[in-house]
Structure 1
Amino acid sequence: MPKSRRTLAAAAVALILPLSACGSGDDDGGTQDASGKVEGDITFQTWNLRANFKPYFEDLIAGFEHKYPGAHVKWVDQPAEGYPDKLSADAAGGTLPDVVNVSPDLVAPLARAGLALDLDKAAASFKSAYLPGAWASHQIPGTSGTYAFPWYLNTGPLFYNKALFQKAGLDPDQPPKTYDDLFADALQMARKSDGKVATLANVPTIEDFGRYGVPLMNKEGTGFAFNDAKGVELLTEYKRLYDAKALDPQALTATPESSGKKFLTGAVAMNPGSALDLGNFKKNAPGLYKNIGITDQITSTGHANMYVMGVMVNSRTEHTPAAVAFAHFVTDAQHQMSFARKVAIFPSTAGSLDDPYFTEEDGTDETRVRIAAAKSLKNAVNYTPVLFSDQMKTALRNEVAKALQGKESPKEALDNAVETADRLLRQG
């Protein structure tokens, strides 16, 4: 299961359905009407959850079957590796389960192929039960409809090393709050350390452009737009950081794991993370843990980034009322709250983040992070466009690398990335 901000990001991979799967879910198969009796045998597929949460899901299914004696749920769990390929094969072969654990980018091609039930039509009465940003996360630009119930959310703060800030002549109790602050502090950190300490370890991704306020895609969902003036501005700033060694030299090939190690060893002064990271700091880097600073994500929009998982209903299920009822049951406030107490994730249901578990301090850093994250999630958004595939992410990363290395201007790099993304979008 994706447990942290970084692993959730890594789990969001692309799915391209074979052309043979294209079509409309209204043409054949199941019914779109979810108002009938909740009964029948349905299959529920999760994404790498059985190993750690088997008792939870067995109890959840038992509770549903007790509430609806005429319904029976078969639970299957797929490993993380190859999950998109498994969905693609099932979609093409007509063996897609009735209820499926998805991320927004995985649901997009299924919805476009007519295989994801439109909940705005089939389950509109449930919409108000979820946070608006979470409900919207499974919508697709250029189309109407919502194609999965939002399930668990994650986000996280920025951690920073107070000792490194102080050594660089920066106030350890006043971390950067704006991008201007961030860039200025990063340059000072690099100067004071003679380029030995970078502030950031990662190149900008599509979500970073979103947080900076760059328009990522046109409203019609037919093309990308992150090569506008504001996008070029952000990449130009990162180029300045890279040249000054304020951005780690290995950022071009960094992974979440390698960036985390850089932060642990004091080679990098700031790194995103979640409450789960605090235990790692305490165990593996006690010196860092004693000097850990915690601050909010930096954004120009006022909205933090949200990572979201969802539960989709197969539009061709033979038991739509049961499938919709179970998908909602999995994601309702009671069960999301129960799940959130077992692992460091957050419920997507309206009002749940006001629970004392997410609002009351107890003096621990873990609770402080949880409370801050919960507060930011109330109006957070999923910046990664649901149509931005893994291939597109790779193209953007490659072009960003060329810009940072001076092989292309920031404008040329982003123009090329948008051109590639648009071409892949048309092919999809």
Structure 2
Amino acid sequence: MPRRQRSRIAVLATAVALTATSACGGGGDDAAGGDVLTLGYYAEAGGPADGTMRALVEEFTKANPGIKVKIETADYDEFYKRLRTQLAGGKAPDVWLSDGVLVQEFAGRNSLRDLTPYAAGLNLADYYGIDLIKKGDPQGRLFAFPQGAQSTALFYNKAIFAKAGVEPPTADWTYDDLLAAAKKLTRDTNGDGKTDIYGFRAHSPSFVESWWPMVKAFGGDVLADDGKIAIDSPQSRAAFTWMNRAMHEERAAPDPVTTEALGKSQILFPSGIVAMQFGIYARIQTAAQGKIDTGVVPLPKGPDGRRGDLANVNSWVINRAASEAKAESAWKWIKFFAGEGPQTKWMSIGEAIPINRKVAQSAAFLRPSTPPTDRKPFIDALDTADDLGLNPVWSEYTAAITKQVTGALSRRIGIDEALRTAQADAQAAIDRFRPAG
């Protein structure tokens, strides 16, 4: 790989670490005296999300002079490590920003207030993500309120397509179309016998940007509506067979080992090593840092026309142990953050799809001056997306599946064996869970 490209990858690796959707950092603020509302969130210290959040907190307290706010923040991993310890010790924040996939974990620990009564005075149709949050709870309760949403689209590098003379993707693309184009785009640019540009990035540890939507598009599922693991199916086998063909037979996508060797999955598109990838909305940030002229279209259609759209809704939650007064203040903060003004300011950092529908449907969001200049595919996907199989042991059961799937995609084990083991291990994780009393 040329030295210039290696240098570019190193810079982008640092950028991805700082802008990953769920990974950010920060410090804390003290609000001295009185009854203080403690607000927790994850963000990069001094980064756009941290700065914007602090500015919004200041705006909120000016509008609500009777409420003082203490901020608790750290990068993603540290924030949740600390939070779980705080919950065990009864010292968690009164209100915090939860990764959408973790809401049911905290609800299952009996740590969250049901926000259904608080939200009764709102028109919930004005906000994205409400139905996905409710779906995660067996009783359809609202244990969280949307903060920002992520849906998935097909990203493509316009310059690579133009140079190769390949027509750009469209909303009508199937997986056959995706693979055919990926093969044409895969090239050895310097004649050293090694691939320099791959047509598509198929594998990623971020499975919402890899195998999960493919399984759904091919007609399969991961967690069925009855709460049982459903990954072991003919439809899933077809999806993983397609991935292995793209990576190992057609060599139009790097396999898992090569992906890691090239700089990890989220570096490949912004560094120009792959022409296409499945990406959540936040990947626009890293593509921009790589100065990629990015286009986005809906995910390709599977055999029966499904796209496998998925979404994650990061959300505000209120500590069940918070006093009534603090819970009321926390709800005021949540309503404030969901308003048009704060949502417009949050939209400006490009971290998430606004959950306020009016803001998300504005020209400022849908047709910005920076790539991608058409962001409607994210909204269309969000309108039809399923959730990520949420339950209180989401982290455990998805880790069990990922272990086996990675083995199959690396061809260390067969697909049939991987899916059988994945289903058994993931179901065992679910069956071991006992909700807190």
Counterpart in 1 of 2:71?
75
Q: 1: CA distance between counterparts of 2:255 and 2:132?
A: 37
- The sequence identity of aligned pairs, in percent, is 21
Counterpart in 1 of 2:242?
237
* Distance of aligned partners of 1:271 and 1:250 in 2 relative to their CA distance in 1, 3 Å threshold: same
Deviations 1:162-186 (A, max 9, x none): 5655777743466972223223434
* Distance of aligned partners of 1:366 and 1:169 in 2 relative to their CA distance in 1, 3 Å threshold: closer
Instruction: Structure 2: give runs of 5+ residues left out of the alignment.
Output: 1-14, 25-33, 204-209
The answer as to whether partners of 1:6 and 1:256 remain within 8 angstroms in 2 is no
Deviations 1:263-303 (A, max 9, x none): 45654331244332443332xxxxx64xx554333354356
TM-score, normalised with respect to structure 1: 0.77
* Distance of aligned partners of 1:233 and 1:382 in 2 relative to their CA distance in 1, 3 Å threshold: same
Match of 2:275 among 269, 272, 290: 269
Kindly state the Cα deviation for residue 10 of structure 1 after the two structures are TM-superposed: 6.8
* Distance of aligned partners of 1:405 and 1:114 in 2 relative to their CA distance in 1, 3 Å threshold: closer
What letter matches 2:299 in structure 1? Q
Match of 2:355 among 332, 348, 359: 348
Counterparts in 2 of 1:16-415, with a 5 A limit?
A: 40-48=35-43, 51-52=46-47, 53=49, 56-126=52-122, 128-137=124-133, 139-155=135-151, 157-161=153-157, 165=161, 170-172=166-168, 177-187=173-183, 196=195, 197-203=197-203, 204-221=210-227, 223-244=228-249, 245-250=251-256, 254=260, 258-263=264-269, 267-273=273-279, 274-282=283-291, 289=293, 293-300=295-302, 301-302=306-307, 304-318=309-323, 319=325, 320-360=327-367, 364-366=369-371, 368-383=373-388, 385-387=390-392, 389-415=394-420
TM-score, normalised with respect to structure 2: 0.75
What letter matches 1:275 in structure 2? I
Deviations 1:302-341 (A, max 9, x none): 5643333110011221022222222222233331122112
Counterpart in 2 of 1:14?
none
* Distance of aligned partners of 1:172 and 1:45 in 2 relative to their CA distance in 1, 3 Å threshold: closer
Kindly state the Cα deviation for residue 121 of structure 1 after the two structures are TM-superposed: 3.5
What letter matches 2:360 in structure 1? L
Partner secondary structure for residue 96 of structure 2: strand
RMSD, aligned α-carbons = 3.7
* Distance of aligned partners of 1:175 and 1:260 in 2 relative to their CA distance in 1, 3 Å threshold: farther
Q: 2: CA distance between counterparts of 1:212 and 1:310?
A: 30
Counterpart in 2 of 1:24?
none
What count of residue pairs does the alignment treat as equivalent? 390
Q: 2: CA distance between counterparts of 1:293 and 1:184?
A: 19
Counterpart in 1 of 2:207?
none
* Distance of aligned partners of 1:278 and 1:103 in 2 relative to their CA distance in 1, 3 Å threshold: closer
Counterpart in 2 of 1:27?
none
Counterpart in 1 of 2:5?
none
Q: Which one is further off, 144-153 or 156-165?
A: 156-165
Kindly state the Cα deviation for residue 206 of structure 1 after the two structures are TM-superposed: 3.1
* Distance of aligned partners of 1:49 and 1:381 in 2 relative to their CA distance in 1, 3 Å threshold: farther
Partner secondary structure for residue 328 of structure 2: helix
Kindly state the Cα deviation for residue 399 of structure 1 after the two structures are TM-superposed: 1.7
Q: 2: CA distance between counterparts of 1:175 and 1:123?
A: 36
Kindly state the Cα deviation for residue 103 of structure 1 after the two structures are TM-superposed: 1.0
Q: 2: CA distance between counterparts of 1:263 and 1:142?
A: 38
Counterpart in 2 of 1:28?
none
What letter matches 1:42 in structure 2? L
The answer as to whether partners of 1:142 and 1:220 remain within 8 angstroms in 2 is no
Deviations 1:358-416 (A, max 9, x none): 2446xx45251445434543444443535563443343333223323444432321121
Q: Which has the higher contact order (CA 8 A, sep 6+)?
A: 1
Q: 1: CA distance between counterparts of 2:79 and 2:161?
A: 42
Deviations 1:112-147 (A, max 9, x none): 121111122442333615435354236425343121
* Distance of aligned partners of 1:202 and 1:314 in 2 relative to their CA distance in 1, 3 Å threshold: same
Deviations 1:93-115 (A, max 9, x none): 11111101101222212101211
Q: 2: CA distance between counterparts of 1:299 and 1:251?
A: 27
Deviations 1:52-102 (A, max 9, x none): 255533443344334444332222212323222212111111111110110
